[in-house]
Amino acid sequence: MKWPGKAEVHESLPPVQPAWRRKGTLYVMGVDGLTLDIIGPMMEEGDLPNLARVAAEGCWGRLRTISPTNSSIIWTSIATGCHHRDHGIDGFEYYRLFGRRLSRTTLQKARKIGLEALLKGWKHVGLMSSHLLDGRDVRRKRFWEILSDAGERVGIVNWLHTWPAEPLNGFVVSDRLLDWRLRAKTGRARAEEHLTWPPELMEAVSELVVSPDKLPLEELRRFVNMPDAELQEFLSADFVRHDMRTELGFIVAQDPSCWRMFEHCLRACPGLTVAAAYFRSTELSQHSAFQYVPWSRHMPVTEEDRRRYGQTVLQAYRRADGFVGNVLTRMRPEDTLLVVSDHGFGYQEERGKYGHMRGEPPGVLYAYGNEFSRGRQIPDADIYDIAPTLLRICGLPPAREMQGSCLEGILTPEFRREHPPLDPIESYGPPARLPRVAHKSKELDEKVTAHLRALGYFD
pLDDT tens digits, 305-317: 899 999 999 999 9
Q: In this structure, are 156 and 52 located in the same domain?
A: yes
Q: In this structure, are 228 and 291 located in the same domain?
A: yes
Q: In this structure, are 121 and 247 located in the same domain?
A: no
Provide the 10 A C-beta neighbour count for residue 245: 16
Residue 9 has pLDDT above 50, yes or no: no
Q: In this structure, are 65 and 97 located in the same domain?
A: no
Is position 14 within any domain?
no
Contact between 75 and 82 under an 8 Å Cβ cutoff? The reply is no
| Structural domain boundaries enclosing 330 | 26-87+140-454
Per-residue model confidence as pLDDT tens digits over 64-114: 999 878 899 999 999 999 999 999 998 888 788 877 887 777 777 877 888
pLDDT band at 7 (very low <50, low <70, confident <90, very high): very low
Q: In this structure, are 161 and 292 located in the same domain?
A: yes
pTM of the model: 0.90
Is 374 exposed, middle or buried (CB count within 10 Å of its CB: 0-12, 13-18, 19+)? exposed
Residue 8 has pLDDT above 50, yes or no: no
Per-residue model confidence as pLDDT tens digits over 152-173: 999 999 999 999 999 999 999 9
DSSP letters of 390-412?
A: HHHHTT---BTT-S----GGGB-
CA distance 145 to 134: 16
Q: In this structure, are 335 and 265 located in the same domain?
A: yes
Most confident of 23-32, 101-110, 215-224, 303-312: 23-32
CA distance 277 to 177: 13
CATH number at residue 420: 3.40.720.10
Is position 249 within any domain?
yes
Total residues found in the chain within this entry: 459
Most confident of 198-207, 265-274, 349-358: 265-274
Average pLDDT along the chain: 86
* Count of the separate structural domains present in the chain: 2
DSSP letters of 18-71?
A: PSS--SS-EEEEEETT--HHHHHHHHHTT--HHHHHHHHHSEEEEEE--SS--H
CA distance 163 to 424: 29
Q: In this structure, are 228 and 124 located in the same domain?
A: no
Q: What is residue 214's three-state secondary structure? A: helix
CA distance 18 to 22: 9
CA distance 88 to 137: 6
Amino acid at 326: N
